A and B are shown apart, each in its own frame.
Chain A
Amino acid sequence: MKIPITVNGRTVEAEPGEMLLAPIRRAGYSVPTLCYGEGMTPTGACRLCVVEIEGRSGLATSCATPAEAGMEVLTHSPRAVEARRTIVELLLARHPDDCLYCARHGFCRLQDLAEDLGIRRRRFPADPLPTRLDISSPAIARDPAKCILCGKCVRVCEEIQGVAAIDFSGRGSETRIAAAFDEGMNISSCVYCGQCVRACPTGALAEQDSTGRVLEALQDPELTVVVQHAPSISVTLGEEFGLPAGKDVDGLLAAALRRLGFDRVFDTSFSADLTIMEESSELVRRLETGGPLPLLTSCSPGWIKFVEEFHPRFIPHLSTCKSPQQMLGAVIKTHFAKLAGIVPGKIFSVAIMPCTAKKFEAARPEMAREGLPDIDAVLTTREIARMIRMGGIDLARLEPEESDPPFGERTTAGKIFGAGGGVMEAALRNAHYLLTGSPPERLELKEIRGPAGIKEAEVEIAGRKLRVAAVSGTGNARRVLEEMEAGLRELDFIEVMTCPGGCVNGGGQPYTADPETIRKRVRALYRLDRSGERRVSRENRSIQRLYREFLGEPLSEKSHRLLHTAYSPRDVTK
């Protein structure tokens, strides 16, 4: 039964149990929020979303007050507006005047609110709290001075990611967000997914900035600086330059990267195809030799750390394949170095990723040979956007260019890696080929597309039924692992993406709180696939060539040395 209420005199209907915020928005009004987050428990902590309800003396938080029949809500009464202004003024009382130097400058909710509410002076001056920057981890930087204690990071980390690396500590004026023992994030259980960074309304959380190192390398005449861009980047980067969400800027990106001075532009979707060659062969081998099944995908580094920390029993199930980033890194400093006649030590290899955890992955000691890391620096989508702006490059006006051989060609199977479920779909296309000699009749696996966090399907290949699942968000992954342990689920192959929805919603992507933006990014990838000429990884001619000229075949000894890795349990609690 619908619940009728009025918002500023207009009648709208609320669903039973719905908080006021949703019908208010449907009525066409926007009430500012800070601590509210889609899909998270409302806490009513910041009180910014207060509205007046006729007949009630106090103001009510619209994100945490359920709609009741007949409520007459006023969203912008003088009292409500004044209360909001005071809340923001109080938040600003101890806030450092740091905007000019802040990672969030221009994308900060607090800045927006101060502007929207017309705050022009400090009404409640107070000394900033003494705090310490935490730049201990390879991926996430914390500046507690800018924290407004909204708690969104805590809820994302616990409720959605199932990690709970950070929590409120202390109380009263000493309340703070902290990892265990007030230690650095580097020794916490943080999996570096960056979902807290996306949720944070201020600059209290950000990625570790790698732009400086990359700019330096670009200035060094001794170095050949190569760059790769992940499958999802081309459908998200445009947002940073005012283009609509989901606009594919693949060619513009390549052009911009060359203008920034990168010597070679490679496509990580190429090595996504390479990953599929190896991983589908691994799947087939495990199916034929009896395990261990289910095979768990390994391209998402936050998930890898999650398994190593919390579920080490599943380590043998993880695919030994490195991620596309690391595979490409490895062939760049070996095969490409040789082809181009460059000493591997004189190559500086950069990866543009949707992901903060990729910074951690690149720094893993296993991801290096003879003291040379396969990847030298990882930039998030936001960081490369910053560099493009810094370089004075007008992205939208460039002429599209192609990525460079020998690692510039991709199939659309590699491209859909960017959407949750894409890896699975790409792997099954190729596995079908391996098992039957031809691609499946039905290429598209609609059951494992879409925004759900856990998607299951049954596919039949060569008379064998495979139960597969695509899972995103480590919290969901934990659920699936626990259900398997309890015997409630039986699966043969599981794709796991650390971030809910996959890379399109990665911790390093352009800031957005709008789920529709994420859906547009996903649709863009599948659109590319639908119109793709080559849709199965093995049809990538550059991949065929790489095997012919360098690697031999999937799972060959050389592949193993360069493209595969091993994992070990970690104790992060000390």
Chain B
Amino acid sequence: MKVKTGPEKIIPILAAYPEAGRDSLIPLLQDVQEAEGYLSREAVVAVGRHLGLPAGKVYGVATFYNQFRFSPRGRYHIQVCRGTACHVRGSGTLLGRLERELKIAAGETGRDGLFSLEVVSCIGACGLAPVISVNGEYHGHLTGDDIPALLEDYRNRETDEDD
């Protein structure tokens, strides 16, 4: 199942911002990401054209905010909570381990499209800190060493579903 990308999908979004100027950039990008799951190149360019901003500028602004992604989500989207509770209980180590195991950085998607990684501010499960969520399933009280098995588990699900 491939997400359909390309400007057709975002035309109605742009249309909702007629005569928009630079102040509309962030809300527009949010809407586009909401609809497409990420900011495709085509979308960044189209948003820039709509607002009269060069693509480099739009990209520069968008990369300033953690919330924007530039690749589609993977089949399993991992969110690492960096809220205060998780932070003091070692979410930094979890993130580092995930990045190493998956060979991607926060905000990226692995080549095989299986996993994507995101850092979020607080997912409201402080009791489980440090916690990550994978497609909405919470996994709490994790240590770095729990990560390989957890990823393996999702990888196996993938093969099961394919079979």
Contact = CB atoms under 8 A, between A and B. Distances in A.
Given A170-B64, A171-B64, A181-B70, A574 B57 contact: no
**B41, B48, B56 pick with most chain A CB within 10 angstroms:** B56
Given A181-B41, A574-B45, A189 B56 contact: yes
Nearest to A164: B54
Contacts of A171: 63-64
B45 A169 contact: no
Contacts of B55: 180-181, 189, 573
Contacts of A158: 57
Contacts of A166: 56
Interface string A167-181: 111110000001111
B60 A168 contact: yes
B56 A179 contact: yes
B32 to A, nearest CB: 15
Interface in A162-206: 163-171, 178-182, 188-189
A55 B28 CA distance: 46
B59 interface: yes
A69 B90 CA distance: 54
A167 B60 contact: yes
Interface in B57-112: 57-61, 63-64, 70
A180 B54 CA distance: 9
Interface residues of A, number: 19
- Name the residue in A169, A180, A182 with the highest tally of chain B Cβ atoms < 10 Å from its Cβ: A180
A180 B63 contact: no
B44 interface: yes
B45 A167 contact: no
Given A170-B64, A574-B45, A164 B59 contact: no
A122 B56 CA distance: 35
Contact of A165 (B56, B58, B61, B63): B56
Interface string A146-166: 000000000000100001111
B54 A181 contact: no
B41 A167 contact: no
Given A181-B44, A574-B45, A170 B54 contact: no
A169 B45 CA distance: 16
B60 A178 contact: yes
B54 A178 contact: no
A50 to B, nearest CB: 26
A170 B56 contact: no
Contacts of B58: 180
Nearest to A154: B60
B127 to A, nearest CB: 29
Contacts of A180: 41, 44-45, 54-56, 58-59
A201 to B, nearest CB: 20
A574 B41 contact: yes
Contacts of B48: 573
A189 B45 contact: no
B59 A169 contact: yes
Output the residue of B42, B45, B55, B64 with the most chain A CB within 10 A: B55
Contacts of A573: 41, 45, 48, 55
Contacts of B45: 180, 573-574
Contacts of A167: 56-57, 59-61
A280 B56 CA distance: 38
Given A169-B63, A170-B64, A171-B64, A164 B56 contact: yes
Contacts of B53: 164
A169 B54 contact: no
A169 B60 contact: yes
Nearest to A571: B45
Contacts of B63: 169-171, 178
Given A164-B54, A182-B59, 4 more contacts: A164-B57, A166-B56, A180-B41, A180-B58
The 9 A-B residue pairs with the shortest CB-CB distance in the complex, in nearest-first order:
A167-B60, A180-B55, A164-B54, A169-B63, A180-B56, A573-B45, A180-B59, A169-B60, A170-B63
12 contacts: A158-B57, A163-B54, A164-B53, A167-B56, A169-B59, A169-B63, A170-B64, A178-B56, A178-B59, A179-B56, A180-B59, A181-B70
Interface of B: 41-42, 44-45, 48, 53-61, 63-64, 70
Interface of A: 158, 163-171, 178-182, 188-189, 573-574
